[in-house]
């Protein structure tokens, strides 16, 4: 009997708590979820929104990716808290460093995925995480980047040039009603990366509340195009239920009301 897949549904996977160790001596907490009984066809390294504004490895799109995509799309999902970020999994060492020290966090995640021999590694950044992907993710081990609500706040023209010269795919999913960068402007800004694809998502907002399924379909379509889309909304096998209430206040955290240190105060990611 088919059971509807809800926000709290956890589909079968091999899940393990992991630790990342950065070159500057910090321990970051995370989780790796892999398909239960087969090798993954691809790997997602999730880079979350601003920890100063509620961002963490359990931010709802990434939580749903980890809970669903190993079973539905044969993908491995690596999530972690960047320096100073907290979630139910725990708090990573260090403090938020406005996209400077976080370069070591991104490097540690890529290194872990390589060491674990995870295939077809893609970075999936969300908001602040897109800046980390653009600044520090153009690594030989990385196949491409998927950017959710990119504010282009900490990224520089040189970062875009690096991706342009690499030829690696860059897909930007931009909400129609984003608070920081909307589709038309995003197409202008990403014109510096000829291979970049900007996908405007009608009706969506920066936090993707109510649109997580659209995001997951777009991710899967790029990373494992053999999967039939849209992804199923029901499941015929065993299913667990997670406590999504633990994240409710973080999911709808205000991204605009708290000042953020950085190059353009008043914006957030």
pLDDT tens for the chain, 269 residues: list them: 799 999 999 999 999 999 999 999 999 999 999 999 999 999 999 999 999 999 999 999 999 999 999 999 999 999 999 999 999 999 999 999 999 999 999 999 999 999 999 999 999 999 999 999 999 999 999 999 999 999 999 999 999 999 999 999 999 999 999 999 999 999 999 999 999 999 999 999 999 999 999 999 999 999 999 999 999 999 999 999 997 666 554 444 333 333 344 444 334 45
pLDDT at 163: 98
d(CA 147, CA 47): 10
Give the per-residue pLDDT at 208: 97
At 267 the pLDDT is 41
The span from the CA of 102 to the CA of 115, in Å, is 20
pLDDT at 7: 93
Cis ω before 66 (30° cut-off from 0): no
pLDDT for 252: 40
pLDDT tens digits for range 179-229: 999 999 999 999 999 999 999 999 999 999 999 999 999 999 999 999 999
Please give the Cα distance from 89 to 28 (Å, whole number): 10
* pTM of the entire predicted model: 0.92
Expressed in angstroms, the distance from the first to the final Cα of the chain is: 41
pLDDT given at position 269: 54
* DSSP element (H, E) containing 200: strand 197-201
- Between CA 212 and CA 92 the distance in angstroms is 26
Domains of the chain, earliest start first: 3-251 (3.40.50.1820)
């Amino acid at each position: 009997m088919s059971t509807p897949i809800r926000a709290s549904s956890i589909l079968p996977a091999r899940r393990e708590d992991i630790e990342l160790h950065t070159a500057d001596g910090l321990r970051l907490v995370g989780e790796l979820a892999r398909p239960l009984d087969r090798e993954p066809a691809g790997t997602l390294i999730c880079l979350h929104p601003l920890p100063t504004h509620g961002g963490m490895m359990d931010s709802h799109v990434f939580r749903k990716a980890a809970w669903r995509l190993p079973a539905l799309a044969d993908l491995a999902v690596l999530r972690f808290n960047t320096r100073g970020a907290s979630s139910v999994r725990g708090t990573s060492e260090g403090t938020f460093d406005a996209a400077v020290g976080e370069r070591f966090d991104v490097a540690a995640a890529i290194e872990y995925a390589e060491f674990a021999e995870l295939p077809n590694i893609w970075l999936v950044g969300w908001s602040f995480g897109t800046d980390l992907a653009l600044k520090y993710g153009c690594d030989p081990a990385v196949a491409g980047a998927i950017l959710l609500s990119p504010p282009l706040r900490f990224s520089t023209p040189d970062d875009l040039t690096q991706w342009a010269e690499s030829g690696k795919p860059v897909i930007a999913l931009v909400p129609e009603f984003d608070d920081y960068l909307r589709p038309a402007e995003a197409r202008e800004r990403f014109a510096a990366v000829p291979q970049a694809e900007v996908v405007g998502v009608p009706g969506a907002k920066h936090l993707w509340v109510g649109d997580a399924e659209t995001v997951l379909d777009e991710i899967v379509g790029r990373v494992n195009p053999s999967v039939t889309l849209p992804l199923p909304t029901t499941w015929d096998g065993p299913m667990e239920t997670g406590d999504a209430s633990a994240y409710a206040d973080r999911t709808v955290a205000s991204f605009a009301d708290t000042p953020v240190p950085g190059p353009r105060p008043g914006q957030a990611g």
